[in-house]
């Protein structure tokens, strides 16, 4: 759904919010109306050679420009940022994909630059809030969000509120163990969902399978990768499955579904959600992903819980970063008004 097709009702019911999306390779900013319509947006590339001070100065300039372009009073800013971060102090600790950022006072710097209240959360929680307020989770009281891309993250909405956990780190659904004797995960644990079903893990498992048995190697998968196993990606695995006739690609994909499905079954049993919203690049597989996942869940989850839970694709698409940050700002602003 694009900004132009989103309903723009209730023009004055609530504040306009600035959203700031800080990822590893780009910074995106946007001003949203109270109903979630983006009035102005901008993107600036990150520069690994820059200090964090220089990057934040450019970011503040971009924020000022986008607020001027939207030409509305902005009540607060929300930031969705790659972690780890300390939400209480507003510091970003040392995100692995932003070299040079070490204990950056993100919230204080942006607040001093823009003179408005600023609220911070990690990118996965921000996306969960964004999907809940503006996307595929609208009107749903209990919702789980998972993003399945190079890694797997998530956020938990309970009774219309983001569940933060003891120190703001709840929702690490990628690190649910689905095989206690399984593959090593980048987090150090064993058998995590992420070790099987992230885009990175799907590609790695497919490459290993091809290397282990060249004779049985999926003909269409290898052909799609121009005969070079190192060129195999999750996207090509999905494409080989879509074309059919490649048992190796099908086996890798089935294992992906089983890992994700067993993780979702646990989530359903713990939280009894109304909806699970899945986003991230791997969900571009569409029905190839969602149909077998739904079958897995209806087969293995307790019926009373499975019956009330639907599993759907995220609704915000490329806007999830900025709209998630907007939702963080709205949420923080509303809480600040309540004292």
Which range binds Zn ion by CB under 5 A, 17-25, 178-186, 202-210, 272-280? Answer: 178-186
Among 162, 192, 224, 252, binds Zn ion (CB under 5 A): 192
Determine the 3-state secondary structure of 74 from DSSP. Answer: strand
Alpha-helical runs (H) found in the chain:
52-70, 106-114, 123-134, 194-197, 199-212, 219-224, 234-243, 247-271, 287-300, 303-306, 320-337
Complex with Zn ion: residue 133 or 175, whichever CB lies closer: 175
What is the size of the binding site for Zn ion (CB under 5 A)? Answer: 5
Handedness of CA 122, 125, 131, 133 (dihedral sign): negative
Q: Applying CB under 5 A, does 272 fall inside the site for Zn ion?
A: no
Minimal distance, residue 190 CB to Zn ion, in Å: 8
Complex with Zn ion: residue 36 or 154, whichever CB lies closer: 154
Complex with Zn ion: residue 94 or 189, whichever CB lies closer: 189
Determine contact, residues 170/163, Cβ cutoff 8 Å.
yes
Complex with Zn ion: residue 55 or 147, whichever CB lies closer: 147
Q: What is the 3-state secondary structure (H, E, C) of 188-239?
A: CCECECHHHHCHHHHHHHHHHHHHHCCCCCCHHHHHHCCCCHHHCCHHHHHH
Complex with Zn ion: residue 90 or 199, whichever CB lies closer: 199
Q: How far apart are CA 80 and CA 128, in angstroms?
A: 11
Q: Applying CB under 5 A, does 185 fall inside the site for Zn ion?
A: yes
Q: How far apart are CA 157 and CA 138, in angstroms?
A: 11
Q: Applying CB under 5 A, does 189 fall inside the site for Zn ion?
A: yes
Q: Applying CB under 5 A, does 175 fall inside the site for Zn ion?
A: yes
Among 112, 187, 212, 270, binds Zn ion (CB under 5 A): 187
Which range binds Zn ion by CB under 5 A, 11-19, 53-61, 101-109, 181-189? Answer: 181-189
- Residues forming the site for Zn ion (CB under 5 A): 175, 185, 187, 189, 192
């Amino acid at each position: 759904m694009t900004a132009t097709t989103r309903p723009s009702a209730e023009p004055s019911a609530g504040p306009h919010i600035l959203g700031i999306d800080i990822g590893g390779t780009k910074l995106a900013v946007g001003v949203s109306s109270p109903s979630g319509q983006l009035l102005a947006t901008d993107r600036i590339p990150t520069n690994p050679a820059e200090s964090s001070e220089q990057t934040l100065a450019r970011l503040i300039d971009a924020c000022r420009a986008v607020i001027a372009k939207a030409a509305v009073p902005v009540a607060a800013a929300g930031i969705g940022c790659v972690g780890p971060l300390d939400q209480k102090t507003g510091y970003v600790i040392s995100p692995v994909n932003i070299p040079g950022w070490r204990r950056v006072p993100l919230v204080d710097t942006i607040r001093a630059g823009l003179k408005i209240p600023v609220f911070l959360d990690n990118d996965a929680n921000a996306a969960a809030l964004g999907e809940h307020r503006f996307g595929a989770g609208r009107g749903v009281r209990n919702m789980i969000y998972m993003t399945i891309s190079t890694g797997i993250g998530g956020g938990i909405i309970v009774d219309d509120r983001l569940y933060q956990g003891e120190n703001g780190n709840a929702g690490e659904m990628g690190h649910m163990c689905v095989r206690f004797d399984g593959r090593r995960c980048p987090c150090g644990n064993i058998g995590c969902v992420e070790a099987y079903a992230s885009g990175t893990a799907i590609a790695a498992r497919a490459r290993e399978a091809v290397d282990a048995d060249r004779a049985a190697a999926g003909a269409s998968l290898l052909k799609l990768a121009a005969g070079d196993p190192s060129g195999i990606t999750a996207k090509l695995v999905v494409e080989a499955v879509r074309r059919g006739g490649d048992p190796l690609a099908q086996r890798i994909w089935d294992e992906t579904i089983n890992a994700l499905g067993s993780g979702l079954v646990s989530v359903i049993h713990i939280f009894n959600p109304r909806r699970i919203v899945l986003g991230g690049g791997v969900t571009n597989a569409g029905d190839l992903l969602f149909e077998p996942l739904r079958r897995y869940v209806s087969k293995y989850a307790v019926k009373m819980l499975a019956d009330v839970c639907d599993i759907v694709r995220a609704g915000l698409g490329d806007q999830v970063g900025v709209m998630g940050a907007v939702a963080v700002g709205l949420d923080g602003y509303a809480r600040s008004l309540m004292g």
